[in-house]
Chains A and B, each alone.
Chain A
C-alpha cells in the first residue's frame, strides 16, 4: 500500500494516524498519501523515542517534503548526537535542503545547533554561505547565522574583504551594510556586555577606524547618492565617536545645493544638511531643506518633514 507499510524495515511499527482534534474538528483527515504515511510512522517512532538510522532517514524524507515542520528537526538533532553521526555529512545534506528552501529558517537554526558541536570552522562553510548569498544577498536567516558564526569562531578579521565584494556588486544591500557595522563595531560592544548599546557613542573606538569607515562610506555614496543605507551608516559612524555632522557639510552639499533646487541628487543629502544647518543655527536654511523634502523630493512623508520643521520653529521665539 505504501512506501513504509510495504517495507521490511518498518514492519514492527504500528503507524499512528493524525488525531484530528476531537469530535468537531476544524481540521480533518485528507493528507496526500506519501506525506500522510511518512508522518504516521514519524509519530510512532517519536512516541517510543526511537533513535535509529531508519528514523533518521524518515526525518530526512519528511524534511524533504516539508522543511517547516519544526517538530521533525528537534527529533533529528537529538538522534544525530546520540547516534554520534558524522556532522560534516549532516552539513553537506543541509546544504542541499537550504538551497532548495531558501525562505525556511528551521534549517539555519539546525545548522547552528550542529555547528556548535564542531570544534573548528569547516573549510567549505564560507563558500557555501557565498552560494546562498549569490541566490539572495539579503536573506535574513543566513545573515543572522553568519553573525553567529563570526562570533562563535571569532572570524572578525576575514569578513571585511568579503563584505566589500558584496557591496561592490550591490551598493544598496542594506544587509551587507549592517554586517559591516557588526564586524567593525560589535567586537567592541560585545566585550562590554551590553553596557554600551550598538548605536551609542563609544570613545574607545580608535579614530583611524572611524576615519576609514567615513572614507569608505563617502566613496560608496559618490557611486549612488540616492541610497539610504550608507547615509544611515555615515550618521551612525559619526555618532559613535561623537563627531558632529557639520564636519561633512561640504561633502553633502555636493549632492544638494539649496541654491539649485532643480539639481538635488539625493534626498538623504538634503536630510543630512537640514541637521547640519540646524546645528549651525541656520534655521532658515534648515527649514528650506526640509520644505524641499516635504514638497518635492519626498512628499509621501510630508508629515514627517513638517514635524522636523516644527522642531526648528519651537526654538524660535518669533518665527
Chain B
C-alpha cells in the first residue's frame, strides 16, 4: 500500500465549483486506494516504507467501511503481512524492518479483518502465542506502560495497541491490565483530557488511545465523561471540522480521534454531525478520489481512511458501521471477540 500523497487535492474539481449538496464518491475512493499500489516509481513510496503495514491497514479498513472488502487481493494482503513478521513474533513496517508494536498491532488487525488469524499458526514465522508474547514483553512491569520496541520509547499509543491486539487474540491474560489502567490514569489532565505520558498536554489522538484502552479494560467508569466530553466537543470549529488541541487548526483525522472518543463515552451527539460530514466531504477529491486533511491539500490514504471512518461513526448513509474502540468494521470485531449475538 503506497502512502504517496496526491495526485488529487481535496475539494478540487474542474473549474473549482463546489456543488451545494456534497456526495461521498464511494467508487472514486475505491479506485484511489486500489491505484496506490501502482505508484511504486515515486520516491515518496519508498520514503514511506516505514509505514507500509499501517498503510495496508488504512487502505483495507477504508475499503471494508466503503462496502468493498474484496477490492484488494486477500491472498496478496496475507502474504505481504506475513513477510513482515520476525521470528520473535513481532512485525516490522515492511520486510527487513525491525519489529515494532505499532506494526504488530496493524498486522493482527489486518489478519483479523480478512479472517486469516489462523494463518499465523499455519505459515507465520512465529505462531499466535509468540505474537502475544512479543506484545506482552513490551510492558514495563513497574509502571504498566508499554514500549514500542526494545528502543524503549513509551507512548499511550503503544499501551492501547497492546490491549487492542491482545484482546482480539483473546490473550489479555498475558499482561497486567490493572497496572496499564493505573498508567492511563496517571496521564489524565486537569482539563479532562489525556496526554502521551504523565504531565503531557491533552491531545485528541492520545485521548482516543487512553479512552479506548480503558474501554477494552472495562474501566470506562474511571473517565469523567462530562468534563472530557465538554473538552472534546469544544474541538469543533465553525466550519464543522475538528482540531486536536485548543487553538490548533482542524484536520480530517480528528474526525476519528475526537468522534470515536465521544462515541465511547456516549456523547457523540455533543458535536454537530451534519457539519462534520460536510467538512469531511469538502476534503474529498471528487474526481480522482481520496481525502485530504483540509480542503485544498493533497489527498493521502491516512486521511482517506480516517475521513471515511469518521463518516461511518456518525452514521453516514451507505457506509459499514465502524467499531469506535478498534477502528475496524463492527461486524469484524463482533466476530473476533465472539459477540455474534449482540
**Are A and B associated in one complex?**
yes
B9 CB to closest chain A CB (Å) equals 20
Contacting pair A35 B47 (CB below 8 A): yes
How far is A16 from B149 in the complex, measured between Cα atoms in Å?
24
* CB-based nearest B residue for A236: B190
Question: Is A21 in contact with chain B by the CB < 8 A criterion?
Answer: yes
With A21-B79, A22-B83, A27-B52 already in contact, the answer to whether A172 and B190 are too (CB < 8 A) is: no
Contacting pair A35 B270 (CB below 8 A): no
Q: Mark A25-43, 1 if CB is under 8 A from B, else 0.
A: 1111111100110000001
Q: Which one of A31, A66, A236, A240 lies within 8 Å of B191 (CB-CB)?
A: A236
Which residues from A are CB-within-8-Å of B133? none
Number of B interface residues in the complex (CB < 8 A) = 71
Question: Is A109 in contact with chain B by the CB < 8 A criterion?
Answer: yes
With A24-B76, A25-B79, A30-B40 already in contact, the answer to whether A18 and B201 are too (CB < 8 A) is: no
With A198-B190, A303-B269 already in contact, the answer to whether A174 and B92 are too (CB < 8 A) is: no
With A21-B79, A24-B79, A74-B149 already in contact, the answer to whether A140 and B186 are too (CB < 8 A) is: no
A225 CB to closest chain B CB (Å) equals 15
Interface residues in A165-180 by Cβ distance below 8 A to B read: 172-175, 178-179
Contacting pair B203 A300 (CB below 8 A): no
Contacting pair A24 B75 (CB below 8 A): yes
Which residues from A are CB-within-8-Å of B271? 300-301, 303
Which residues from B are CB-within-8-Å of A20? 95
Which residues from A are CB-within-8-Å of B190? 181, 198-199, 232-233, 235-236, 239-240
Interface 9-mer from B113-121, B229-237, B285-293 = B229-237
Interface 9-mer from B14-22, B213-221, B244-252, B312-320 = B244-252
Contacting pair A26 B1 (CB below 8 A): yes
How far is A239 from B230 in the complex, measured between Cα atoms in Å?
17
Chain A facing B: main interface SS: helix
Which residues from A are CB-within-8-Å of B40? 27-30
How far is A267 from B195 in the complex, measured between Cα atoms in Å?
25
Contacting pair A74 B200 (CB below 8 A): no
Which residues from A are CB-within-8-Å of B1? 26
Which residues from A are CB-within-8-Å of B267? 304
Which residues from A are CB-within-8-Å of B233? 301, 304
Contacting pair A144 B46 (CB below 8 A): no
Contacting pair B236 A68 (CB below 8 A): no
Which residues from B are CB-within-8-Å of A48? none
Q: Which one of A43, A109, A189, A300 lies within 8 Å of B153 (CB-CB)?
A: A109
Contacting pair B234 A228 (CB below 8 A): yes
Interface 9-mer from B23-31, B96-104, B170-178, B329-337 = B96-104
Question: Is A19 in contact with chain B by the CB < 8 A criterion?
Answer: yes
With A27-B94, A236-B191 already in contact, the answer to whether A229 and B229 are too (CB < 8 A) is: no
Contacting pair B76 A26 (CB below 8 A): yes
Question: Is B50 in contact with chain A by the CB < 8 A criterion?
Answer: yes
Interface residues in B267-288 by Cβ distance below 8 A to A read: 267, 269-272, 275
Contacting pair A32 B95 (CB below 8 A): no
Contacting pair A74 B151 (CB below 8 A): yes
* CB-based nearest A residue for B234: A228
Which residues from B are CB-within-8-Å of A174? 201, 245-248
A169 CB to closest chain B CB (Å) equals 13
Contacting pair A175 B238 (CB below 8 A): no
A267 CB to closest chain B CB (Å) equals 10
How far is A302 from B77 in the complex, measured between Cα atoms in Å?
44
Contacting pair B76 A71 (CB below 8 A): no
A12 CB to closest chain B CB (Å) equals 21
Question: Is A4 in contact with chain B by the CB < 8 A criterion?
Answer: no
How far is A235 from B271 in the complex, measured between Cα atoms in Å?
23
| Most A Cβ at <10 Å: residue of B46, B182, B199, B270 | B199
| Most A Cβ at <10 Å: residue of B48, B186, B202, B248 | B186
Question: Is A307 in contact with chain B by the CB < 8 A criterion?
Answer: yes
Question: Is B56 in contact with chain A by the CB < 8 A criterion?
Answer: yes
Residue pairs across A and B with Cβ atoms less than 8 A apart, 12 shown, are A21-B84, A22-B80, A24-B73, A26-B76, A31-B46, A113-B152, A198-B199, A199-B190, A199-B192, A229-B247, A232-B190, A307-B270
- Other contacts beyond A71-B98, A144-B196, A197-B188: 19, CB < 8 A: A22-B79, A30-B46, A74-B149, A74-B151, A113-B151, A138-B248, A140-B196, A140-B201, A143-B201, A144-B195, A174-B247, A174-B248, A194-B186, A199-B188, A199-B191, A300-B236, A300-B275, A303-B271, A307-B270
Contacts from A to B (Cβ < 8 Å) = 16, 18-32, 35-36, 43, 65-66, 68-71, 73-74, 77, 109, 113, 138, 140, 143-144, 147, 172-175, 178-179, 181-182, 186, 189-190, 194, 197-199, 228-229, 232-233, 235-236, 239-240, 300-304, 307
Contacts from B to A (Cβ < 8 Å) = 1, 37, 40-41, 43, 45-52, 56, 73, 75-77, 79-80, 83-84, 92-98, 100, 149-153, 182, 185-192, 195-203, 229-231, 233-234, 236, 238, 240, 245-248, 267, 269-272, 275
